[in-house]
Amino acid sequence: MSHIGKFSLLVLFFSSISLFAQQNSKNELAIVQREDWNAQEPIMEMKVHKPKFITIHHTGMPQKPELSIEKKLQALQNFSLKDSPMADGSIKKAWADVPYHFYIATNGEIAEGREIKFQGDSNTNYNLDGHVLIVVEGDFNKEKVLPQQWES
């Protein structure tokens, strides 16, 4: 292949990357970052994992559309960082950080929770290694997922 042919292929390659990047940036979701909701640093070491799965949880608590996503994440972190009573009367041991990697609020806003490189936490009994945990706000035994949550 001539130098001109190689140059043309390189131009075509980099042009297509640039076009893809422009299209991709238009479709990106806005995510409230940890620093935007004033996240505290984790209080203990966390297990590093390699994400392989996406697992959707619900908060198991009533939806609270009147609260900002920042307040919701701060409350979740406050609950997470200490031994906390559960609805069934048992005590949840403190976690290092918020348990979920992403939080979807009632208005569809998305916030970053735990850094994705760290394994999440849950009150469920399954191996969380490799699971990216996304929590959708609400108790879906009693409430419905809202359209804006579905969209997010």
Amino acid at 7: F
Task: Quote the tokens at residue 96.
Answer: 């290092």
Give the residue with greater pLDDT, 15 vs 34: 34
**At residue 23, does pLDDT exceed 70?**
no
Measured from the Cβ of residue 148, the count of other Cβ atoms closer than 10 Å reads 13
- Domain range 31-151, CATH class: alpha beta
**At residue 2, does pLDDT exceed 70?**
no
Q: What percent of the chain has pLDDT over 90?
A: 72
What number is the average pLDDT over the span 36-41?
98
**At residue 144, does pLDDT exceed 80?**
yes
**Local structure of residue 22 (DSSP, 8 states):** H
What number is the average pLDDT over the span 57-77?
96
- For the chain, the average pLDDT equals 85
**At residue 8, does pLDDT exceed 50?**
no
**At residue 15, does pLDDT exceed 60?**
no
Say what the pLDDT of residue 29 is. 80
Say what the pLDDT of residue 114 is. 97
What number is the average pLDDT over the span 73-87?
92
152 touches 104 (CB < 8 A)? yes
Say what the pLDDT of residue 63 is. 96
Say what the pLDDT of residue 87 is. 77
Distances (CA, A) of 73 to 113, 129, 139: 8, 23, 17
pTM over 0.75: yes
